[in-house]
Amino acid sequence: MAQQRRINASELDFDTIKSNLITYMKATDTTFNDYNYDGSAMNTIIDVLSYITHINSINANFALNETFLDTAQLRSSVVSHAKLLGYTPRSITPSVSYVNVVMNYDNTASPLFNHDSGDNPLPLVIARGTKFQTIVDAVPYAMFASATTTVNWDSSAAAGAEWHFDNIKLEQGELHTSSFTFQNNEFERYVLADAGVNTKSIKVTIKESSTSTNSSIYTLYSNIVNIDSNSKIFFLEEAKDGFYEVKFGDGIIGKKPDNGNIVEIEYSTVNETDVNGASVFTLVDGIGAPNNTNGTLTTVTKGTGGAAPESSSSIRFNAPLGFVAQNRAVTPDDYKTIIKNNYGNIDTLTVWGGEDNIPPDYGKVYVSIKPLDAEVVTDVDKLTIINNYLKPKNVVSITPVLVDPDYTYLDLEIFFKYNPNVANVTVNSLAEAIRTTITTYNDDTLKDFGGVFRHSNVVQLIDSTNISIISNITRVKMHKEFTPDIGTTTKYQFDFNQALAKTGTSYITSSQFVYNGFTCILKDYYNTTSSSNVIQIITATDGLVKNADAGTVDETTGRVILSAFDITSIVDTSTTKLSINTKPASSDVKPTRNELLTIKTATAAITGEVDTMATGGTTAGIDYTTTSNNA
């Protein structure tokens, strides 16, 4: 009786496919069941059949994966699925800086720079697109003036430097202009065939003809609710090749240009490497008449905000949320999605309602952003996020408020014991390896809002740093930093958001400052009359009290208040900040709302010693010492 002939079609592995084919060929009454399938000829035929099946199976699997947003790997597929959800991925974002420009010229030259024939000074213009440059790591990067600015001659300024431009916005990249003729074809689209297009810079102008001076400005579609057949809008999509394409309405949803109209599209392209942190800029294009590049540039703000295009993984995550948000901001996830889709300089982001704030603040929603290149978002970017991205889409009765992250810095003292017989290591090399371990933990775990410092996890990671490390004691302290208003009496509040423990006789202390001519610190004591912990200003050397009531400490909530703090200077001239130091009651430290935890890895105290019990010294059980968990 013949064997049942069946091929298992569910396998993708080449060897399994080949084995299934051989089994199939042998399951027959014909001569195939007697063939030597290890022979060269038949083996080659079976190999070819197996390879064909294997490749077809892989291609089918890949193709099927690309049909779903969750499993698609090609960016073009991810973008295509996002398009069906009405989501346009965020483009590359340029670094932005602000500079002051003073134009210098020879006031004895003839003709005088930017003067008329009667030697009267003329207004001076820095036009949009005027080229500037910055150099980072010996590599030049193009910048340009974001807007046209005109200033008049300032007679009160120094001779030869009478034109002053303040807060000129410089964007990374170069401006381009592409022109097309509208052909009135169905599904007409215009591709911006340049890599690194910044979609926020796109400006579309429609002219009646190539010789006409009449033109109309078209704006990017943002909300279909207010659009009719006369709305001068354009639509923007990322094409499958990574370029962006501009499309217009059909005369029902959005105004349709007339046949023969000239479409002019201005846009900027940005280098894939940002120039965040750049602080030195030079003028490349000449301005005025005759052309002058002799400008003195003073940096107001360093380069900030540069970010790469939205990644495929980010699109997969944000596109469904954007669809759920339906272009309006109601829930916290709506706010997050809208901000992420419009603002690229985000390391981590959190949103909470005013009802969850302390104290409650009804009618408001709070947003906090940690940018990629700094600790806080610039004031200009805050206004842009609130006014341009959130207010047009949030509920009218709700006010969005953008607050800075509240940083709590963790100070670690690490004492470890090791066995030098297990590995060829030194105490210094182990200390640096441990520093690398806690740096990795800091970057991977604590970089997001809601990142909890878990003491046991850190202790375990330190023990796992090297096979020679036997144990460790890790002490946790923390501090907050602030810049005091020198010479001004000011109230300050610091929220550690957890119970505090005493170090010695007090809950808090501070770095040194000058108060009434004395080098002082802050320290609290328990006041039995008021039944509270009162902060005093005392001298740093002998503890003499110079201000008996400078504030209070609530050890239960971790709130520290300096009620009327006024100092002369900070002792450490290398910084403008003072620190408020304390110790958490728990070795696990949790953040709340906009609080971010950060380990001060560079200053972490790491001390190691040989474990004499492990090495088996003759006095191991006699002089073996341990380290206390408390300082």
Q: What is the pLDDT of residues 562-617, one digit of tens each?
A: 998 999 999 999 999 999 999 999 999 999 999 999 999 999 999 999 888 888 76
Question: Whole domain around residue 39: which residue ranges?
Answer: 14-65
Q: What is the pLDDT of residues 412-430, one digit of tens each?
A: 999 999 999 989 999 999 9
Nearest to 274 by CA among 134, 377, 167: 134
Average pLDDT over residues 207-236: 87
Q: What is the pLDDT of residues 144-166, one digit of tens each?
A: 999 999 999 888 877 767 889 99
Predicted local confidence at residue 58, as pLDDT: 80
Predicted local confidence at residue 29, as pLDDT: 62
Task: Flag whether pLDDT at 3 surpasses 70.
Answer: no
Do residue 157 and residue 205 come from a single domain? no
Question: Is 541 part of a structural domain of the chain?
Answer: yes
Do residue 161 and residue 208 come from a single domain? no
Question: Is 612 part of a structural domain of the chain?
Answer: no
Task: Flag whether pLDDT at 210 surpasses 80.
Answer: yes
Exposure pattern of 531-541 as b/e (b: 16+ CB <10 Å)?
A: eebbbbbbebe
Do residue 60 and residue 168 come from a single domain? no
Question: Is 44 part of a structural domain of the chain?
Answer: yes
Kindly report the average pLDDT of the chain as a whole number: 88
Question: Is 473 part of a structural domain of the chain?
Answer: no
Do residue 166 and residue 181 come from a single domain? no
Question: Is 415 part of a structural domain of the chain?
Answer: no
Last residue of a domain, one of 356, 380, 404: 404
Average pLDDT over residues 214-226: 85
296 forms bridges with which residues in the sheet?
102
Do residue 209 and residue 339 come from a single domain? no
Do residue 242 and residue 351 come from a single domain? no
Average pLDDT over residues 477-501: 94
- % of the chain residues with pLDDT over 70: 96
Do residue 190 and residue 229 come from a single domain? yes
Do residue 162 and residue 107 come from a single domain? yes
Q: What is the pLDDT of residues 500-558, one digit of tens each?
A: 999 989 999 999 999 999 999 999 999 999 899 999 999 999 999 999 999 999 999 99
Task: Flag whether pLDDT at 96 surpasses 60.
Answer: yes
CATH number of the domain to which 344 belongs: 3.30.300
Q: Which two tokens stand for residue 618?
A: 């003759």
- Higher-confidence residue of 223 and 406: namely 406
Question: Is 462 part of a structural domain of the chain?
Answer: no
Task: Flag whether pLDDT at 4 surpasses 70.
Answer: no
Last residue of a domain, one of 226, 250, 269: 269
Question: Is 530 part of a structural domain of the chain?
Answer: yes
- Give the number of domains in the chain: 5
Residue 184's pLDDT band, with cuts at 50, 70 and 90, is confident
- At CB < 8 A and 24+ separation, what contacts does 481-484 make? 481/407, 481/409, 481/577, 481/578, 481/579, 481/580, 482/577, 482/578, 482/580, 483/576, 483/577, 483/578, 484/513, 484/565, 484/567, 484/570, 484/578
Predicted local confidence at residue 1, as pLDDT: 44
Q: What is the pLDDT of residues 319-329, one digit of tens each?
A: 888 887 777 88
Do residue 141 and residue 287 come from a single domain? yes
Tally the C-alpha atoms within 13 A of residue 17's C-alpha that lie toward its C-beta: 19
Q: What is the pLDDT of residues 29-82, one digit of tens each?
A: 666 677 777 776 778 888 888 888 888 888 888 888 888 888 888 888 898 888
Residue 216's pLDDT band, with cuts at 50, 70 and 90, is very high
Task: Flag whether pLDDT at 433 surpasses 80.
Answer: yes
Question: Is 613 part of a structural domain of the chain?
Answer: no
Do residue 158 and residue 298 come from a single domain? yes
Predicted TM-score (pTM) of the model is 0.73
Predicted local confidence at residue 341, as pLDDT: 84
607 forms bridges with which residues in the sheet?
415
CA distances to 26, 284, 411 from 574, in Å: 84, 36, 20
Torsion of CA 601, 346, 198, 227, to 10 degrees: 180
Predicted local confidence at residue 10, as pLDDT: 65
Do residue 147 and residue 281 come from a single domain? yes
Average pLDDT over residues 346-350: 91
Residue 8's pLDDT band, with cuts at 50, 70 and 90, is low
User: Which position has the token pair 């990644």?
Assistant: 311
Do residue 139 and residue 27 come from a single domain? no
Strands 233-238 and 215-220: parallel
The torsion angles phi and psi of 51, rounded to 5 degrees, stand at -65, -45
Task: Flag whether pLDDT at 20 surpasses 60.
Answer: yes
